[in-house]
Amino acid sequence: MLALAAVAGWAATGADADFSPQSVLAGRDDLAADMEAARARFGAEDAVLLVLLKDDRPRFPGLPGEDGAGVLSAEALAWQQQLVAALPDLPHVEAVAGVTTLQTGRMSLANLGEYETVPLVPGGPDGPPTPLEAAWVREQLSDDRAAGLVSADRRTAAVLAVLAPEARSAPKTRQAINAVNARLRADPPPAGLSAEVGGMPALRLAIVDGLERDAEWLFPLSGGLFLLALAVAFRRTIGVVVPLLGVACGLSWAAGLLAAGGTTFGILANVLPVLLTVVGFAAAVHLLARYAEEAAETAPGDDEETAAPLLQHRAARNAAAKRTFVAMAPAVGLTMGTTAIGFGSLLTANSDAVRALAVQAATGLVCLGFSTLAAFAALARRCRPPRPAGRGIAWNPAVPVGGWAVRHPAAALGLGAATVAACGLGALGSAGLPLPAGVGWRGLTVDSRMLETYDEAHPAARVVRRVERDLGGVIAVEALLFTPDAAGNEPGGLLDPAVYADVLSFSAEARELPGTLSVRGYPDLYQRTLAGVLRDPEVLTKAPAGPDAADRLRQAGGLLERAAPGSIDPFLNRNASAGRVVVRVADVGTAATLRLSERIGALLNERFPPDDPAVNPRGIRWRLTGDGYVNAVGMNRFIRDFLWGLTGATGVIFAVIGLLFRSVRAGLIAMIPNLTPLILTLGYMRLRGLDLNAGNAIVFAVGLGVAVDDTIHFLARFREEVAAGRSVTDAVTGALAASGRAIVLTSALILAGLSVLLWSEFVPTRRFAELTCVTLAAALLGDLVLLPAALAAFWRSDQPAAPPSVPTERGVQPA
């Protein structure tokens, strides 16, 4: 086992990882394909690294020197010029833009009647801009049309560094960001100003660094808690060594197999190590608890070395270990299989990362099942058995709690039904079903935000919020526009004066939509160029009209190409047959983004209806993409697909239980205590005000898979008791006494292990831990209350009634 673990661990070092949030969007639907095609044609919006220049000094209007120049002072402009000149030499920086790269048009001094372009910010190689030139720049930018480069109050400016495609990997992103930070330290901003790095690449890297920090201390702490709990519970070496060896080898085997298969570990795999650890430890706990019970029946006493010869003791220990293995191996295999089926519900998702999580979890569970059984088989006869029940943790709460449910099954099931009905109202609301009249709460909503990863006080969140407030935001809904033949046989289609006017009016109306922060497209670049040539700011909002409109647009296009080659490429292709308008929106959540996207689509459809040649004679086609839109639609699809997959997995799980127990009744009864926790979790989410997103939804697959494990162990012991000739009541009582302690211990173990994740700096990880703990705590009540009550109420044994018996801590004994 250890040799295989060493080889697998070495193989796992070559596994790929992609912890970017965008990796969750890659999938098998047209959304991700459209976004990748737009990136290939126009560039990736999420590859832009922002260097923010900030002026947070207090201002006192009216005092001498308080002109509000801020980041557009002569000194600040000179510093930005130096930074723009230096950034292209840094690793993985492909292009740079900023206020100092903007161009403006003017009448040519050498050739009268023609126009030329000049930098908006004078200076550069000839020297920094003078205060008078800086004042002229501020006047030119007073219309706030340099969206994404300078704020209206002149307190924030951005220099955009476009990273090369290979820099999407974490190591190269870190190399690029470290180089930019080194440049900022070597050449700091002028006095009173500060600079920091932000943007989507920096946010992705912060997530990767945070995951590494979690792995450095959260996972070891979780493992330490597991081992401490096991040592206290069993007070024997075997109680610690078997779970430790089984989990360590199982995780290594799984990692090696997945790496050999070419898997990529994504951001969703962050919870897998802790989750697989607790599942593996839980299986070991059930094995050890049964071993203690079997050994207590054969060992002459607690002090085995003095009470029996060594040979006899080893023989008795070996016999107890064999009986334990034969009795528990099917249950361990079934629990691992059903948990894997719970994760298998994720295979219906469109996201490649979510489907990869299902495969990774299932592989880990299979490996853990084999490694746990193998560790027990290898070590059981070589270690002293765990202390029998009653000598470790003295009190077994399963007996009094479950005993009450057995004596009063109607009351227990009625209380459970009332609780489920109350919490189910939240589930109805989340599914979009109408609530009964008079119900004053709307239920859960499918929603998520980009910054739900962090608390608002986190530095990465503060940078994004500042960009939203001052520079037009980072979340994009992109409108792609195409002529009928976007391959290039109809040049100039998007620069037809009528089409151009429609696109310009669309941009103006989109700016007024609630939730829109900024709009930028190819008409904005053309309008700025025309306004600079004509020295008329009103031209910014008026499309060229009249017989010379087409000539004006061609003239503006020529000036753009001469001014800064490639500056128009992110918005319009060379023959104007494909273009885009980027609508940047606030981080208002996927539900609000979907509503905003619908209104954007309605504005486009008014101007370019697909089947109305009278309104759309050019046959312009359009569609929406962008990370904001794709994430919103993809999240909605994911939740819907996931719920259907979970429903199917639920049916399969309980069908498997009924098949393996050779009883349809067993499968139906098992549904009661294991579907109840999921509904209770929905109610808890409603009370907490939590939305249903990808991270929260995964809790239901995990909860279903993990919660059913204890039910299987309980049912397996119950069938043993029934097969031994006991009545249903006595069989339930015996299962509570024998398996109840292990169920309580495993639940406490899982809750303790997952509670460590509550200290993660990632909000989704903390929510996952919180909701999983709630689900498993509810499952514990289901197994100790609802399952005994359901068995007492609905099970009909074919075995003859046994003699009267009374419950004890060790099981049932004849009265």
Q: Which of 78-82, 205-209, 541-545 has the highest mean pLDDT?
A: 78-82
One-letter amino acid identity for 295?
A
Instruction: Read off the pLDDT band of 271 (50, 70, 90).
Output: low
Angle formed at CA 46 by CA 44 and CA 47, multiple of 5 degrees: 70
DSSP states of 465-529: HHHHHHH--SEEEEEEEE-TTTTTTSTTGGGSHHHHHHHHHHHHHHHTSTTEEEEEEHHHHHHHH
Of 183, 147, 168, residue with least CA distance to 47 = 168
More confident residue, 688 or 446: 688
Q: At residue 348, does pLDDT exceed 60? A: yes
pLDDT confidence of residue 308:
46
Average pLDDT over residues 595-602: 94
Which tokens in the block code for residue 152? 């209206």
Chain Cα centroid distance, residue 142: 40
Among 77-86, 682-691, 802-811, name the one with the lowest average pLDDT: 802-811
Read off the pLDDT of each residue in 412-436 and give the average, rounded to a whole number: 66
Rounded Cα distance, 572 and 526, in Å:
11
Which residues, at least 6 apart from 280, have a Cβ–Cβ distance to it below 8 Å? 243, 246, 247, 250, 251, 368, 371, 372
pLDDT value at residue 316? 78
pLDDT tens track for 685-730: 888 878 777 777 777 777 777 777 788 888 888 888 888 888 888 8
Please say whether the beta carbons of 701 and 644 come within 8 A.
no
Quick one: pLDDT band at residue 439, thresholds 50, 70, 90? very low
Give the Cα separation of 342 and 702 in Å (integer): 6
Q: What is the mean pLDDT of residues 515-532?
A: 82
Write phi, then psi, for 446 (nearest 5 degrees).
Answer: -85, 110
- pLDDT, one tens digit per residue, over 747-761 is 887 787 777 878 887
Q: Which two tokens stand for residue 89?
A: 């030499």
How far apart are alpha carbons 544 and 542 in whole angstroms? 6
Q: Distance between CA 426 and CA 692 in Å, rounded? A: 11
Contacts 24+ apart (CB under 8 A), 104-112: 104/140, 104/528, 104/529, 104/532, 105/529, 105/530, 105/532, 105/533, 105/556, 105/559, 105/563, 106/532, 106/533, 107/533
Report whether pLDDT(535) > 70.
no
User: 622: which 2 tokens?
Assistant: 């359009």
Least confident of 231-240, 428-437, 784-793: 428-437
Predicted local distance difference test score (pLDDT) of residue 343: 73
Residue 302 to residue 185: CA distance in whole angstroms: 69
CA 87 centroid distance within chain: 32
C-alpha to C-alpha distance for 360 and 250, rounded to whole angstroms = 12
Q: Which two tokens stand for residue 437?
A: 């009249």
pLDDT at res. 695:
72
Q: Can you give the pLDDT at residue 802?
A: 37
Looking at the predicted structure, is the pLDDT value of residue 178 above 90?
yes
The class level of CATH for 235-444+632-803 reads mainly alpha
When pLDDT is averaged across residues 206-234 and rounded to a whole number, the result is 77
Strands 475-482 and 578-585: antiparallel
What pLDDT shows up at residue 166? 78
Provide the pLDDT confidence category of residue 427 given band limits of 50, 70 and 90: low
pLDDT band at 433 (very low <50, low <70, confident <90, very high): very low
Q: Please, what is the average pLDDT of the chain?
A: 78
Per-residue pLDDT band at 67 (split at 50, 70, 90) = low
Question: What one-character-per-residue DSSP string does 667-696 give?
Answer: HHHHHHHHHHHHHHHHHHHHHHT--B-HHH
The secondary structure of 597-635 as a DSSP string is HHHHHHHHHHHS-TT-TTT-TT--EEEEESHHHHHHHHH
Beta-strand runs (E) in 699-746: none
End-to-end CA distance of the chain: 47
Q: How many CB atoms lie within 10 A of CB 36?
A: 15
- pLDDT interval class at 539 (50, 70, 90): low
pLDDT at 302: 46
Residue 419 tokens read as 């609780």
Query: How confident is the model at residue 513, as a pLDDT?
Result: 93
pLDDT at residue number 425: 66
Over residues 467-508, the pLDDT tens digits come to 888 888 888 899 999 887 654 445 568 888 999 999 999 999
β-bridge partners, 159 = 51
Tokens 């995951």, residue? Answer: 211
CA nearest neighbour of 733 among 685, 773, 684, 784: 784
Phi and psi at 640, nearest 5°, equal -65, -50
CA distance 611 to 618: 11
| pLDDT surpasses 50 at 69 | yes
> What is the arithmetic mean of pLDDT over 538-560?
77
pLDDT in tens, 657-686: 777 777 787 788 888 888 888 888 888 888
Question: Mean pLDDT highest for which of 171-175, 423-427, 739-743?
Answer: 171-175
d(CA 21, CA 61): 43
pLDDT score at 429: 52
Q: Of the ranges 21-30, 343-352, 759-768, which is most confident?
A: 759-768
587 has a pLDDT exceeding 90: no
Average pLDDT of 357-385?
Answer: 88
pLDDT band at 634 (very low <50, low <70, confident <90, very high): confident
Percentages (nearest 5) of helix, strand, coil residues in the chain: 65, 10, 25
43-57, 105-119, 190-204: the lowest-pLDDT one: 105-119
Tokens at residue 788, please? 């005994």
Which of 533, 766, 638 lies closest to 27 in space, CA to CA? 638
pTM above 0.95, yes or no: no
* CB 28 within 8 Å of CB 352: yes
Q: Which helix (H) or strand (E) holds 115?
A: strand 115-119
pLDDT at 366 exceeding the cut of 80: yes
Closest listed residue to residue 73, CA positions, set 177, 172, 193, 247: 193
768: part of which helix (H) or strand (E)? helix 763-781
Judged on CB neighbours under 10 Å (0-12, 13-18, 19+), 357 is: buried
147 versus 726: which is more confidently predicted? 726
Please tell me the distance from the alpha carbon of residue 605 to that of residue 171, in angstroms, as a whole number.
43
What pLDDT score was predicted for residue 87?
93
Lowest mean pLDDT among 206-210, 243-247, 498-502, 675-679: 206-210
Domains in the chain: boundaries: 47-205, 235-444+632-803, 484-619
Dihedral sign computed on CA atoms, order 490, 494, 496, 499: positive
CB 285 within 8 A of CB 748: no
Residues 186 and 173 sit within 8 Å (Cβ to Cβ): no
